[in-house]
């Protein structure tokens, strides 16, 4: 096996999706339009991303996002035929070395805590577990969201996605969000929406989210990506925003599923979501590689 590496810029989107599909195996299908969306919202840098070739056949990919000197491993896969031979470790080492040459100072990634194989591999390449993310899930029925969550004097209205900017700035004391919930991502999701809540004291809260209708095995769902709360605002405001977002998207809240991905475990929102009655559906590790 003679392996060479080339920038992902040399493959078209359909070719990348085909390689992505083949490398994962197991029936999952990567779609060019979905990949294009992800590349945009996660700032995937195709020049920095690498494809591994066995002769002329692409057999592995490492897709890297870039924001200034920071980088993020969006995805990483090796074709079944080439696994277990050290190629994954070498591709990760090569892409990190090339990123460092291009001025990157750190690479981050998230990995499901039960993926022992991937965690070992990332560890071999020098990544360290720096914190844990929580994934929350519950239906409106489990959260008992209902009309009474909207006191008559509160006003909840849709607003421009850019409304999230001052709320994001005000949340500076909170742990940094995961890569795809940072401001550049929040402002580029094609289907992002924002609701703002005004109570008797004025602007009290904002919810940035995507409402995704049922598809395949996924139910109708609201995916909150950022929550802003004025000091003193809390559970009631959050309940009201969740209820309004579900009702606006699907006409009712009870059978809507709320999913929050990659919430840092020590954030105020993580505590609030637990107080709201949401259960932790999974945990993931935030792993980082610091360049020498
Ligand atoms: C995770 C993944 C990228 C690993 O790729 P890989 O090329 O098999 O990785 P490596 O060969 O470097 O390491 C795999 C194992 O082979 C072992 N190995 C390394 N070099 C070897 C060699 N020359 N001969 C035999 N075994 C070797 C490693 O020690 C490792 O063993 P371990 O699991 O006990 O730690 C691959 O399984 C994959 O693409 N999975 C699907 C996509 C995915 O899950 N991506 C990660 C998302 S978090």
Q: Could you state, in order of their start, the residue ranges of all structural domains in the chain?
A: 3-104, 135-283
Q: Tell me the CA–centroid distance for residue 236 and ligand 1, in Å.
A: 47
Cα–Cα distance, 169 to 228 (Å, whole number): 10
For domain 3-104, the CATH class is alpha beta
Say how many C-beta atoms besides its own lie within 10 A of residue 247's C-beta.
18
Domain covering 135-283 in this structure, CATH number? 3.40.630.30
210-240: buried (b, 16+ CB within 10 Å) or exposed (e) per residue? bbbeeeeeeebbbbbbbbbbbeebbebbbbb
Low-confidence residues of the chain, pLDDT below 50? none
* pLDDT for the residue numbered 184: 98
Do 3-104 and 135-283 come out as alike in CATH topology? yes
Q: Buried b / exposed e across 184-193, counting CB within 10 Å, b at 16+?
A: ebbeebeebb
Quickly count: other Cβ atoms within 10 Å of residue 258's Cβ: 24
74 lines ligand 1 (CB under 6 A): no
Q: Retrieve residue 154's tokens.
A: 């509160």
Convert the pLDDT of each residue in 129-180 to its tens digit: 999 999 999 999 999 998 777 888 999 999 999 999 999 999 989 999 999 9
Burial class (CB in 10 A: 0-12, 13-18, 19+), 208: buried
- Taking the CA of residue 109 as reference, the ligand 1 atom at the shortest distance is 48
Does the pTM exceed 0.75? yes
Convert the pLDDT of each residue in 257-282 to its tens digit. Answer: 999 999 999 999 999 999 999 999 99
What is the CA(119)–ligand 1 centre distance, in A? 10
Say which residue the tokens 């610091």 belong to. 290
């Amino acid at each position: 096996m003679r392996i060479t590496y080339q920038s992902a810029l040399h493959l078209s989107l359909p070719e990348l999706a085909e390689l992505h599909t083949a490398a994962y195996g197991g029936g999952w299908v990567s779609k060019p339009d979905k990949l294009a969306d992800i590349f945009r919202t996660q700032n995937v840098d195709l020049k920095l991303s690498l494809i591994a070739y066995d002769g002329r056949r692409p057999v592995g990919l490492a897709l890297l996002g870039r924001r200034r000197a920071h980088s993020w491993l969006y995805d990483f896969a090796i074709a079944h035929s080439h696994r277990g031979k050290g190629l994954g470790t070498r591709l990760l080492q090569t892409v990190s070395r090339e990123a460092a040459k291009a001025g990157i100072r750190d690479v981050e990634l998230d990995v499901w805590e039960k993926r022992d194989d991937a965690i070992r591999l990332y560890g071999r390449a020098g990544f360290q577990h720096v914190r844990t993310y929580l994934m929350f899930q519950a239906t409106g029925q489990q959260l008992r969201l209902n009309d009474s969550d909207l006191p008559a004097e509160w006003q909840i209205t849709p607003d421009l996605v850019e409304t999230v900017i001052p709320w994001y700035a005000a949340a500076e004391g909170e742990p940094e969000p995961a890569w795809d919930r940072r401001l550049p991502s929040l402002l580029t999701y094609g289907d992002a929406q924002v609701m703002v809540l005004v109570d008797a004291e004025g602007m009290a809260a904002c919810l940035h989210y995507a409402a995704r209708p049922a598809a395949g095995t996924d139910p109708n769902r609201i995916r909150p990506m950022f929550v802003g709360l004025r000091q003193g605002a809390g559970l009631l405001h959050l309940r009201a925003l969740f209820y309004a977002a579900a009702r606006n998207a699907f006409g009712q809240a009870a059978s809507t599923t709320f999913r929050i991905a990659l919430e840092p475990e020590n954030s105020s929102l993580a505590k609030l979501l637990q107080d709201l009655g949401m259960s932790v559906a999974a945990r993931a590790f935030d792993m980082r590689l610091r360049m020498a």
